[in-house]
Amino acid sequence: MLYSNLGINEKGHLTVGGIDTADLAAEYGTPLYVMDEDVLRANCRTYVQAMHNFFGEHAAPLYASKALCFKGIYPIIESEGMFADVVSPGEVYTALAAGFPAEKLFFHGTNKTDEDIRYGVSSGIGRFVVDNINELRSLDRIAGELGKKQKLLLRLTVGLDPHTLEAINTGRVDSQFGVPIDTGQADEFVREALACENIEVTGFHSHVGSQIFESDSFNRQVEILAGYAAKMKEETGFVIKELNIGGGLGVRYTEADPLLDIPGRIAEIASHLKNECERLGLDVPRVFMEPGRSIVANAGLTLYTTGGTKEVKGYRNYVTVDGGMADNPRYALYKSEYTVLNASRMDDVADYECSIAGRCCESGDRIAEFIKIAEPERGDIIAVLTTGAYNYSMASNYNRLPRPAMVMISGGSARLVIRRESFEDMIRNEL
């Protein structure tokens, strides 16, 4: 089995955290997002401990809210000692509504409006991560109007191209995120920021991509950033106090994906950064990382009820589910692979080759293709693993499908953390 929190009970059903998935489906309905709080907390601890061990006590991981944003996650990550990255006023609002301290929020986003900036500054956001010079100017002006001095990091593009999906690759020179170092534009960005009156630049941010397994990208990233920090120190006298190296560590969706040693990887990045700082005569800054996927992905799975099989003679078999691209658009968008199980027949041989099709009227609505599961009958529960990241947060109401409920399980019991959307919810704002 892909994860140690999964099991098989005497009925031949899949269990998660010791709970029968059939019971969860019966009690809460399907499609159902299931999050295992114990796994989620263990993932937070892995980061917090490794960052403290290798970067020092002041280092901290920020949870990248975009991976899974809802009120119930914030008390968990806060109690585990994490900060949070938020990318929109909606994420800021959710975190604050959950009682998360504003000073532990880092406000990202490529195109923050003046209204967003005003909201962030007046809420007492800990740091802005400023994407571009237009935003910098607005932020300086608005902070001045509000009589505040806003701390911020400048988002730089290091020009690396990690081998990952094109759509989730953000660190290359040609990118809409941040300001590139290679073209010289970062120099103007830093100089202008240092001259602003109502802000305090604490350091730099960069993020190279997502679902990355190789270590090269991160090692090169910290070398480039340290080198750039040394250059700016020499040219302007500015010394960075903080360095945010983004998120991106990969997770295991299928047996074919490696299992990443997160502490090992953090140790390696830390040693590259320390060596480089020493060589360049820089103090090692306070380091932040922004894991999203590797905090929540493997803590989640989705349960569906199958409508049965459909055999297209001479082509393939389909297994239909009562959800699909509306609750998990990742296969439709990125052809992301998933591990799928027939949760009702875990003792049967998984030899039925099929594609899992969702219920939207769209031929691309698939969750997986040409996989093998135990042959299902209408009404069986189908489990899709590793759906904790970028599923609920990217869900839509396409075809007027209500967003599923979410339960959080811990210590053998489940609690509802997101109610299933109703049809009334969907027409609520329609006049």
User: Which chain residues interact with ligand LLP by CB under 6 A?
Assistant: 64, 67, 85, 108, 168, 170, 207, 210, 246-248, 290-294, 330, 390
Cα 197 to Cα 130, 137, 145, 149, 219: the distances in Å are 15, 11, 12, 8, 34
Tell the smallest beta-carbon distance from residue 247 to ligand LLP (Å). Answer: 3
The nearer residue to ligand LLP, 133 or 394, going by C-beta atoms, is 394
The nearer residue to ligand LLP, 100 or 318, going by C-beta atoms, is 100
Tell the smallest beta-carbon distance from residue 210 to ligand LLP (Å). Answer: 3
The nearer residue to ligand LLP, 102 or 333, going by C-beta atoms, is 333
The nearer residue to ligand LLP, 28 or 390, going by C-beta atoms, is 390
Cα 94 to Cα 104, 107, 254: the distances in Å are 14, 13, 32
User: What is the torsional sign of CA 414, 416, 418, 422?
Assistant: positive
Give the span between the Cα atoms of 3 and 6, in whole angstroms. Answer: 6
The nearer residue to ligand LLP, 293 or 359, going by C-beta atoms, is 293
The nearer residue to ligand LLP, 254 or 317, going by C-beta atoms, is 254
Tell the smallest beta-carbon distance from residue 7 to ligand LLP (Å). Answer: 27
Is-catalytic flag, 354? Answer: no
Tell the smallest beta-carbon distance from residue 317 to ligand LLP (Å). Answer: 27
Assess contact for 387 and 400: CB atoms under 8 A. Answer: no
Tell the smallest beta-carbon distance from residue 153 to ligand LLP (Å). Answer: 11
The one catalytic residue among 44, 69, 360, 361: 361
Tell the smallest beta-carbon distance from residue 430 to ligand LLP (Å). Answer: 28
Q: Which sequence positions are flagged as catalytic?
A: 361
